[in-house]
Structures are given as structure tokens and as C-alpha cells.
Amino acid sequence: MARLRQTIIRSALESLYFSGAHHMLKPLVGGVGLILTLHHVRPPRPDRFQPNRLLEVTPRFLHGVIELLRSEGIDLVSLDEMHRRLTEGDFARRFVCLTFDDGYRDTLKWAHPILREAEVPFAVYVATSFADRLGELWWLALEAVIAHNERVALTVDGRDRIFDCATVSAKRALYQELYWWLRGLPTEMEMRRVVHDLAAFYQVDIAAFCKDLCMSWEELAELAADPLVTIGAHTVNHPMLAKLTPEAARSEMDLSRSVIEAALDVRPRHLSYPIGDRSSAGPREFKIAAELGFKTAVTTRPGVLFPGHARRLTALPRISLNGEYQRLRYVRVLLSGSATAMWNGFRPQEAA
Ligand SMILES: [Zn+2]
């Protein structure tokens, strides 16, 4: 299913590009600017089973995107500057904000040199448990369990099941099945418990992902020292906030800000909701973020920015630079707003 979905998205992007429709639609759906979402930036890896490849782009692609944005005359701005433009209605020039979620070490190693060289401001949303080495990158633990085994035994909805995953295509299918089943469990705790059990049984060290992939506080301090960098909050434990009690959701957002302030001496004024889709962040979370005084908060709901987003600053859409679609012509389509408008059924996105 995931492959089919990718094929459909790719052909939609291709036809929007080659038909020229993205050009025609841009004045209608292009908005005033947009926020790009990135996770990993690192050289490509040869593994055939990479179910999380959508979360990584190559340094070369990032470089190409920056050159494209510059050649289109788009302003590359910080979150504070985006906030100013939205609240003051300063839409004389189109703008793009670059944001990186989670705080991966490759942001420092691969993305930062490219962005520093090009003098591009960017934001990094830090999940503090990752820097504290206590976080759980559960989607990678699931990937490792499936990658290293030919069969996986698991109790799903009360039934003991054994899944065959000897081939790459079986691994891909199983990852999608289990990932979405886990995402659909009613509570975050239940999901974490299943992943803990799986990781323990198949001897995958969940804690190691933090140490191997995420920046330490020292590395974050190095990044934060660059005036181009905005450090934002991304909760403590990276939960799907909408599945928590209101008190727990509030505390995740508030506490991560205090931990970052204590560690880096900068108080985050911007927030990114973990996972960030409708099942993870909704009106309740948008309200809490506003009450906590965050200037802006971003979702992963796809879309460009319109003037009306000035009234919904804690519910901003973003556009992901998806590792499965690393072509500059796709980025042109995404910048036009036409792809996200189509995916949203051409409904007015200000009402998202
Ligand atoms: Zn995240």
C-alpha cells in the first residue's frame, strides 16, 4: 500500500509540474509563504529496507533546494521574522522558513554547514528526552526488529500472531501494518509498552538510538550559538499529545521549554507538535500552546501559509521535504501550494 501511495503522489507531482498546472494555480493557492519540515539530512544509504526514508534527504538535495529558493527570489526567514510578517501583514515578498524536528546529530553535521555557508536561518525543535538520552525513537526500534528478523511474534488486539518478514517486500508491508496499528492504539502508554516488549524480546536497545542519532546538550549548545539558529520546543517525551490528559499534554509542552532554557540558556518561543497530524495535535493542543505563550506552533498538516494564519499562530501547517521525492521539480510544485491544495481537496486551508 505504501508503495502504491508513493506512486500516486509521485504521478500527481509529475502531472502538476509537466502540465504547468502548478503555475496557473499558484496565484490562487500559493499563499504568502510556507514552512518546510525536515528531519534527517545525511548521505544516502544503500539498504533496501528503509521504511523511514521519507524522513531523510541528502545534503546535496538540501543544497539544491536552497539554490532553488534563492533563484525564485523567495526570502529565507527565521520563525521570529515569519511571526512578524504574519502579525504585521507584511506580505510584500514570499518567504520560506526551514525547520528541523527532533534534534538529530546530522542537523549539526550535514545541514548546518550548508545553511551557514548560504546564511540561511533555520529552526531546530528539540525533544528534550532525546538530548537527555532517555528518549524512545520507537519507530526506529520497530524498524530494527523487522530488519533483523525473519519472523516477528506479537500479540495484536489480544491475539498471538506470527508475522513472516523474510523478504524486503514482506518487511516493508509488515512495517506499515504494525506502524499504523501502533499509531492507532488508544493511548501513548500502550503503544510504548508494545514497542518495549518487542525491543526487549528481539534484543533491540531502544536507548541506543538517542545516543547514536541525536545531539547531546553540548552539540545543541554549539548549534544554538549560531545566530542563524532558533531553538524550539518539541516536548519532553515526543508523545502524540492528543492521546494524553490535558494536564499531561500541557506539562509536556511547558516542561520541555524549561529544560531547554536550563540547558542552553535560551527560552524557546516556538513549538512543534510531535508527529503533528490530526491524531496527534488538535484544537485542545493549539489552545494550550497559545495559553503557554508560544509565539507559534507548527503541525505536520500539509499546507502553505495564508494571511489568516495570523489568527491561528499555534496551528500552522507545514510542507515536508520528503526523502521519497527528492526532485527539485517536485519542490517547485510544493512551493506553488498546488499539491497541498489538491491533497486538501481545495478546501480553504485557513480553516484547517
Ligand atoms: Zn518529532
pLDDT of residue 4 exceeding 90: no
Report the distance separating Cα 30 and Cα 139, nearest Å: 33
C-alpha distances in Å from residue 25, one per residue of 7, 30, 131, 346: 23, 7, 42, 11
Give the pLDDT mean for 181-210.
94
pLDDT digit string (tens) for 240-289?
999 999 999 999 999 999 999 999 999 999 999 999 999 999 999 999 99
Distance 316 CA to ligand 1 centre (A): 15
Distance 64 CA to ligand 1 centre (A): 24
Distance 299 CA to ligand 1 centre (A): 10
Distance 235 CA to ligand 1 centre (A): 9
Report the distance separating Cα 279 and Cα 161, nearest Å: 27
Distance 214 CA to ligand 1 centre (A): 12
C-alpha cell at 202: 528481539
Distance 334 CA to ligand 1 centre (A): 21
For 109-162, give the DSSP string.
IIIHHHHHHTT--EEEEE-HHHHTT----HHHHHHHHHHT-SEEEEEETTEEEE
Distance 138 CA to ligand 1 centre (A): 11
Distance 127 CA to ligand 1 centre (A): 7
Report the distance separating Cα 349 and Cα 340, nearest Å: 9
Distance 274 CA to ligand 1 centre (A): 5
Strand pairing partners for 297? 271
Distance 234 CA to ligand 1 centre (A): 7
Distance 209 CA to ligand 1 centre (A): 14
Residue 115: how many CB atoms within 10 A of its CB?
A: 23
- Phi/psi of residue 294, nearest 5 degrees: -65, 135
Distance 176 CA to ligand 1 centre (A): 18
Distance 56 CA to ligand 1 centre (A): 13
Report the distance separating Cα 86 and Cα 80, nearest Å: 10
Distance 15 CA to ligand 1 centre (A): 31
Closest CA to 104 of 10, 204, 238: 238
Distance 23 CA to ligand 1 centre (A): 32
Q: Please give the pLDDT value at position 352.
A: 41
Distance 244 CA to ligand 1 centre (A): 16
Give 1's pLDDT tier (boundaries 50, 70, 90). low
For 255-271, give the DSSP string.
HHHHHHHHHHS----EE
pLDDT digit string (tens) for 102-151?
999 999 999 999 999 999 999 999 999 999 999 999 999 999 999 999 99
